[in-house]
Structure 1
Amino acid sequence: MPHSIHDLPALSAPEENSLYARVTWRLLPILVLCYIIAYLDRVNVGFAKLQMLHDLHFSEATYGLGAGIFFVGYCTFEVPGNLLLSRYGARRWLARIMVAWGIISACTLFVRTPVSFYVLRCLLGIAEASLFPGIIFYLTGWYPARRRGHILALFMAAQPVSGLIGSPLSGWIMQFLQGTGRLAGWQWLFLIEAFPAIVMGVVFHYCISDRIRDAHWLSEEQKQWLESRIDTESAHKQKHGSFLSILGSGRVWLLSLISFCSVMGLYGISFWLPSILRATGVQKPLAIGLLMTIPYGAAMVAMILFARSSDRTGERRWHLAVSTLMGGFGLIFSTLFAGHTALALAGLTLATAGVFTSQPLFWNLPTAFLGGTAAAAGIAFINTMGNTAGFISPYLVGWIVDLTHHTTVGMYLLAFFLLLGSALTFCVPASLVNTRPEATHTTEETRTTAT
């Protein structure tokens, strides 16, 4: 059996592109659909807030704590969950995650007190822990670095797509099912949007291969060729010996801080966007949901364009820094014109496009130098540290809103973190994360250019 790409028949660029396209069409639709559902179940509480705070007599701080406490469970179980995924395989582990979080999300309709709200949100975080870093780690076993930026963007486009689809759907459910069967609109929201997760758990178990070697839909020669590309790249990656050595890596901590700053903005927007739009004078849930398709649609386009440009040029830092700057300045602009719906929406569109675009661009950095088991632990640790912002951001903004009766100070604070994250990006050595642009590849490397 050949162990090197040089021992295998050479593939032309069209042949290689066709092979990776086959892999992409087999894996990405399922992975994207799973993450659309996961992200919707994670942030639909932002829409439910429009009704449930009044019905349950919750304060803004109570909502913010409940929204953010998801990440306490999520972060606690993320690293061990990803290590277990590495050991037992993505198919069974991620299928279990989806079924569990679907059941817990549906149970949110029974919330009556702040404590029950906190408990269910924390359990939802535990159930979903390792889904996102698990899929990021899973994709590193299929795609080499020069292709990964575009693939990560396609996968993470699920975030804005979730908002694009889920916002009007959530608005319609809450507006037109209110009172049906003696359930409030927000209760129907949690019930209806939880069911797809359970279904996709079953689909994932039967339709996803754990690794290239298990892919029955590839020929033996195709498996060997794909494996050789991953093996060749892995030989040059940093492989830490233990999780403790991950904790001792300054680069890992720097990336964790950059991720923290970016996620502060991400979940500030995700959990508060409906409330910000309502504060401009838009009241009906369906109208708010329809308006939210604009920033989410812009984010989806920006993610793909930035990722293609980053892969084509091989440049990683400037693309990430510029997208994060867009997020910060967009939040500032939307806050300055908070009383004007059209202008505030324009600022929120720029902010949403920038913040969501920064997410897949960021993951090009750690996956460029972490490999093997170190990638499973390192990716999970960075994501865990970044997602502590998922707890801090909504709770902090909720506390500030209760204190000031306005979102202005909270949005400025989130903008500050985004601008800080943009600056910190340039502390990462370019030589560590940048790849050579396609145009400068040698003849042999040209055969492996990104689709």
Structure 2
Amino acid sequence: MSEKTTTSSIPKGQSESETTLDRVYRKIAWRILPFVMFLWVLAWMDRANISFAKLEMQVDLGFSAAVYGLGAGIFYIGYLIFEVPSNLYMQKIGARKTIARIVIGWGLVCALTSLVQTPWQFYAVRFLLGAFEAGFYPGIIVYLTLWFPAKRRAKIFGFFMSASALSGVIGGPLAAFLMTHFDGALGLSGWQWIFLGEGIPTAVAGVVVLFYLTDHPHQAKWLTAAEKNAVIADLQADANKHSERSESLREVLRDRRLWVFTGIYFCTIIGNATVAFWGPTIIKTLTSFSIGTIGWIISAISLFGAAGMVLNGYWSDRNGDPRRCTITSLLFGAAAFFVLAFVWTSVPAVAVVAFGCALVGAYSTLPTFWQIPNLMYTGTAAAGAIAIINSFGNLGGFVAPYALGLVETRTGSIFWGLLGVGMMMTVAALLVFTKIPNVRTGYAEELKA
């Protein structure tokens, strides 16, 4: 009777060992994911909070749209210079120490942004913010591969990356609250309180990293010996299954697919940076809402973006085809940017909906895109490749806000800028379709079996 009950409790098509692994991976996910998601929320809030600060900071300091755009984008130059060394150094000292260093550093620089008075000071702190944050995102991607096999990663990546959208859910209302309720406190403007109120807690969170994160499964005191052995064996089997992956960084640098990935990511980040750094300005231009209301609108739209990332990652794991899911989300985002450009200011309600769809498309691409290079590279090659793709691809984050700032300064509208963003995301979809092989996780086949 007992044996019969136990057998019937196992889902159809799964063995008892698979059911045990599911339980262990859920335990790992609940331990790691909420915390790294929280850190990524802080990273995006500290990176993109200038989009709200701009609404007052630009007037108080006399910055033009071009100055703001350059300052927003120069973050990615620091990111580019320091990202690959940071990610390779993580291979030597481990994720825990690397992530702690990064988070403490960017939190302190974010707080220092409250002291900015001139354009050059603005450029300097934004460059330093990028330099300190460099390595965090690709480092977490590599870190998660140490805990989850390929067939489970897209959904895990989706949850982690959804934090960038959740940062808008939390960051918008928080920035609006700090600007409206703390304006004038201690002689500081509301925009200065944004940087202090978000930067100092981040530095504290960096200290917590040292005591909370674990580098590898075999070091996890919060797993039983049996759980450790099950996960280590499963990860080793996964590594053997994908043993044909490149491990040499030198070999990867000669692989033209690496640079195709970088181009795809560059185009994708142009879309992401546009909605992140110009979202509040776009909503304010289209409506007569207060800063507080704009914060809640961005929050609601970002919630849909977070859901899109998780669902797209989940669907990729189910069908085993991250390539197709990546193309679909890119084209959806591109279409939304085209609609936004052509109804810009003429049909505000449709434009706001189009902006929301553009955000969902741009964000939903990320978890499935990153699954593809992780199926091709491993070890040091994966760390280096992911850092290269992320750092050079993130130059799109420099180009987008700066280009849109120049376009608005010279034409009084961002119509051509939005049109260009839609075209870049279309190019990204075409590159995935024509240049990237259909690497599958194999999970769909296992489910059918």
User: Shorter-normalised TM-score: what interval?
Assistant: over 0.9
Deviation string, structure 1 residues 154-188 (Cα, Å, up to 9, x no partner): 00110111001111111121122222221111101
The answer for the alignment partner of 2:71 in structure 1 is: 66
Check whether the contact 2:317–2:443 (CA below 8 A) recurs between aligned residues: no
Q: Which amino acid aligns with 2:216?
A: R
CA distance in 2 between partners of 1:30 and 1:313 (Å):
28
- Aligned AA (2:86): G
Residues 312 and 367 of structure 2 are in contact (CA less than 8 Å); yes or no, is this contact kept in structure 1? no
Q: Sort the Cα spacing of 1:15 and 1:244 in 2 relative to 1 into closer, same or farther, 3 A.
A: closer
The CA deviation at 1:60 is 0.7
Alpha-carbon distance between aligned partners in 2 of 1:270 and 1:352, rounded to the nearest angstrom: 8
- Aligned residue among 381, 386, 393 for 2:400: 393
Partner of 2:283: 277
Quote how far apart the aligned CAs of 1:434 are. 4.6
Instruction: After TM superposition, list the pairs within 5 Å mapping 1:302-381 onto structure 2.
Output: 302-339=308-345, 340-381=347-388
Task: Read off the aligned partner of 2:402 and give its amino acid letter.
Answer: Y
Write the distance in 2 (CA, Å) between the matches of 1:22 and 1:418. 37
> 1:218-268 CA distances to partner (integer Å, 9 max, x unpaired)?
122322221222222223245546533322111111111111110010001
Change (3 A) 1:54 1:124: same
User: Which residue of structure 1 aligns with residue 44 of structure 2?
Assistant: 39
Distance in 1 (CA, whole Å) between partners of 2:205 and 2:68 is 29
Q: TM-score, normalised by structure 1?
A: 0.93
Question: Which deviates more from structure 2 when the two are superposed, residues 418-427 or residues 222-231?
Answer: 222-231
Q: Which amino acid aligns with 2:349?
A: A
TM-score, length-scaled by structure 2:
0.93
Q: Which runs of 4+ in 1 moved over 6 A?
A: none
Aligned partners of 1:193 and 1:380: how far apart in 2? Answer: 26
CA distance in 2, matches of 1:359, 1:11: 33
Gaps of 5+ in 2: 1-14
The equivalent residue for 2:306 is 300
SS in 2 for 1:364: helix
- Give the stretch that moved more between structures: 85-94 or 213-222: 213-222
Aligned-pair distance for 1:333? 1.5
Say if 1:118 and 1:126 are closer, same or farther in 2 by CA, change over 3 A. Answer: same
Question: Partner of 1:445 in structure 2?
Answer: none
Tell me what 1:6 maps to.
none
- In the TM superposition, residue 151 of structure 1 has moved relative to its aligned partner by 0.3
The one-letter code matched in structure 2 to 1:425 is V
Match of 2:187, as an amino acid? R
Letter in 2 for 1:45: I
Cα distance in 2, alignment partners of residues 379 and 429 from structure 1? 16
Query: d(CA) in 2 for partners of 1:95 and 1:353?
Result: 30
Could you say if the C-alpha distance between residues 441 and 373 of structure 1 is closer, same or farther in structure 2, counting changes exceeding 3 Å?
farther
Give the Å deviation of 1:428: 4.3
- Distance of 1:164 and 1:438 partners within structure 2: 37
Verify the 8 A CA contact 2:317 2:441 in the aligned structure 1: no
**Counterpart for residue 423 of structure 1:** 430
Contact 1:71-1:390 within 8 A present in 2 as well? yes
Pairing 1:247–2:253 present: yes
Task: Give the equivalent residue in structure 1 for 2:5.
Answer: none
**How far is 1:96 from its partner?**
1.0
Q: Which of the residues 171, 179, 183 maps onto 1:178?
A: 183
1:23 is matched with 28
Shift, 1:148, TM fit = 0.2
Contact 1:234–1:372 (CA under 8 A) maintained in structure 2: no
Give 1:156-171 correspondences, 5 Å limit: 156-171=161-176
| 1:375 Cα deviation from its structure 2 partner | 0.8
Deviations 1:357-376 (A, max 9, x none): 00111101100111111111
Task: State the aligned residue count.
Answer: 433
Shift of 1:303: 1.4
Give the superposed CA RMSD: 1.5
In structure 1, which of residues 288, 305, 313 is the aligned counterpart of residue 294 of structure 2?
288
Distance 2:336 2:129 in 1: 31
- Give the residue type in structure 1 aligned to 2:210: H
Question: Would you say 1:132 and 2:137 are equivalent positions?
Answer: yes
Between 1:347-356 and 1:234-243, the stretch displaced more is 234-243
